[in-house]
A and B are shown apart, each in its own frame.
Chain A
């Protein structure tokens, strides 16, 4: 159990367009979902935390108007990169947990690689 999927796995888009990435918990209800960004050969950096039905909490330095997060149900969260630019190219990974506390294990999706031309 505890499987998390992401779609798409790869996306290439032109500069200025918007891209939506979906994160789904397939076999459990995810009260909390997290979005991370990973640059090549670096660790994961948390972008934002979202609880179902609430507004996302963004980490310092992450533009909330650029990275729109919606957590409309207990199994789906979406990240929309608005007006994407080449510097937004990265590997985006989501994770999901059954609860909002630190005791809950985060289960990670396979990631989405975004390339903005």
Chain B
């Protein structure tokens, strides 16, 4: 079965420091991969997505993620954290499996805290 694992339920960085949020997936077929951000009491906003084109994907707000097939990973990075980046981040996968209609399978999320 397809699954997504986000290592670290809570990550804390200092403002200006590198942000690294880890995501590993399991999929028997080439997946589509997504990172979403959720601010408190809000829905999810798409940060970026991988759709089998370039392996390095650039998203909004300075975030990017690299698809590494050999490592089955899709880690999210940002060179310099900003206070406004504090939120919950979800990695998700979708793919042509099980007759699904584009259903997203989410990781459990990683809460990012940014210290001044």
Contacts and interface: CB of A to CB of B under 8 A. Distances in A.
Given A49-B103, A102-B100, A108 B109 contact: no
B90 A105 contact: no
Interface residues of B, number: 24
B51 interface: yes
Interface string B35-46: 010000111111
Closest 7 CB pairs of A and B: A108-B44, A108-B43, A102-B94, A110-B43, A102-B102, A43-B106, A100-B101
Interface residues of A, number: 28
Nearest to A104: B102
Interface of A: 4, 6, 32, 34, 42-44, 46, 49, 51, 57, 93, 95, 97, 99-111, 113
Contacts of B108: 42-43
Contacts of B106: 43-44
A4 B104 CA distance: 17
B96 interface: yes
Most buried by A among B34, B49, B90, B103: B103
A9 B41 CA distance: 9
